[in-house]
Chain A
């Protein structure tokens, strides 16, 4: 990550999910887009508040499906190729193309590939791993965000963002604190 001018954004700390969600909704309503909430456990309302809706995005799901199909087809065609063309052998008088037997490994590979794609897909879409992130610069963030505090971050990249106004805007929700976050 190259050094950037100015700050990453303003981050407000709340004690309860409710306050966070209120603030987030308001921010979204007043036109902020580049922002994010940070919570110690999944909080759907927060995501909705900042206008993010995974179920409609379906990124992970798509990748997962794709992976599954690839895995299944790959294994089934491998089995068929091996038994019919690569080295045809009379096994116990069974037909070369014993598809019922081939289903099992194909089935397992479907699941294997689907599962892996889901996991890696999720990480990729989340741009993880990212051991470094500006928000970690915020005091209390470390101790709070993964334990019992709720954060709302308005990012400087947002066109509507201005240090003074945005701070005032956040202050209006009586957060525990509002601090500037460096890159």
Chain B
């Protein structure tokens, strides 16, 4: 009686067994990478915008402050997208008939919004609050990257949950002096560029204002400069202080402050966690922090 199968079929059968195993595994691996890939996260993708607005030009080139456009970043959960008026403030005088700006002028004329495409788009069930991050020493660039070097805006990080947790589990590595929040180039302290901090805890006053950090050695006459860096209590915090009932606060004179020198981010981070009263990781990673 003849064989049904040819000799080669033995090797074929065994190989196919092994192969199917390999395929399954590699499929898993692929999916694992896929779920983090820019294809899913839109990381680094430049969306089509009605106007090719360049942050580099406006921030690095012209030196505009972040808050000039994103006005409510310190007050509200929502940083704010500038109204057409903000653009017109300048572009009524300069580049008044650049074709690129046609949509802006059009909007100004017709009273219709310039319809931008969201670049940093969190899922709707994630409740992110800009104000608390900015007030507690997280700088813009920590999440948004070097916006001042982006000709066209794109999403620097994945903005996936694991990325959020990454910091919520260990805030120390991203905390910086509030004076440096809008400092895109902030690198963190180093032996070459140390940071001196001093604080006097005044309850009811935004922590940011009771901690004073300076990049210049207060010992050498930087003290005055340091003092100058203390943000005023006026403006945005009026409500807070008023409702806190502790009226105006007498800030300690810079000279009176005792400064500590920091040369690495870890030490600074740990120090600021205490000073800023950052909640412990088990609270920061509690589900209700971001989901409701």
B-chain residues with CB within 8 Å of residue A142 when the two chains form the complex: 1
Shortest beta-carbon distance from A125 to chain B in Å:
13
The stretch of A51-59, A128-136, A166-174 in contact with B is A128-136
Choice from A87, A129, A131, A140 contacting B1 with Cβ under 8 Å: A140
Whether B10 and A131, one on each chain, are in contact in the complex, defined by CB atoms closer than 8 angstroms, is yes
Whether A1 and B285, one on each chain, are in contact in the complex, defined by CB atoms closer than 8 angstroms, is no
B-chain residues with CB within 8 Å of residue A40 when the two chains form the complex: none
Whether B14 and A132, one on each chain, are in contact in the complex, defined by CB atoms closer than 8 angstroms, is no
Whether B10 and A137, one on each chain, are in contact in the complex, defined by CB atoms closer than 8 angstroms, is no
B-chain residues with CB within 8 Å of residue A131 when the two chains form the complex: 4-5, 9-10, 13
The B58-110 residues at the A interface (CB cut-off 8 A) are: none
State A128–B9 Cα separation when bound (angstroms). 12
A-B contact pairs, 26 of them (CB 8 A): A1-B8, A1-B10, A1-B11, A87-B285, A88-B282, A89-B287, A129-B10, A129-B13, A129-B14, A129-B17, A130-B10, A130-B13, A131-B4, A131-B5, A131-B13, A132-B3, A132-B5, A132-B6, A136-B1, A136-B3, A137-B1, A137-B3, A138-B1, A140-B1, A141-B1, A142-B1
Q: Which 5 A-B pairs have the closest CB atoms?
A: A131-B5, A129-B13, A131-B9, A1-B7, A142-B1
Q: DSSP majority for the B interface?
A: helix
Instruction: Kindly list 20 other residue pairs between chains A and B, CB separation below 8 angstroms, not including A1-B8, A131-B5, A131-B13.
Output: A1-B10, A1-B11, A87-B285, A129-B10, A129-B13, A129-B17, A130-B13, A131-B4, A131-B10, A132-B5, A132-B6, A132-B7, A132-B8, A136-B1, A136-B4, A137-B3, A139-B1, A140-B1, A141-B1, A142-B1
State A128–B8 Cα separation when bound (angstroms). 14
Binding site for A on B (CB under 8 A): 1, 3-11, 13-14, 17, 282, 285, 287
A165 at the interface (CB under 8 A from B): no
State A142–B7 Cα separation when bound (angstroms). 17
State A136–B2 Cα separation when bound (angstroms). 7
State A122–B102 Cα separation when bound (angstroms). 76
Shortest beta-carbon distance from A72 to chain B in Å:
22
A interface residues, how many (CB within 8 angstroms):
16
Using CB atoms, name the residue of chain B closest to A140.
Answer: B1
Using CB atoms, name the residue of chain B closest to A130.
Answer: B10
The A72-90 residues at the B interface (CB cut-off 8 A) are: 87-89
Using CB atoms, name the residue of chain B closest to A136.
Answer: B3
Given A87-B285, A88-B282 in contact, is the A132-B9 Cβ separation under 8 Å? yes
B-chain residues with CB within 8 Å of residue A87 when the two chains form the complex: 285
A5 at the interface (CB under 8 A from B): no
State A142–B282 Cα separation when bound (angstroms). 69
A-chain residues with CB within 8 Å of residue B10 when the two chains form the complex: 1, 129-132
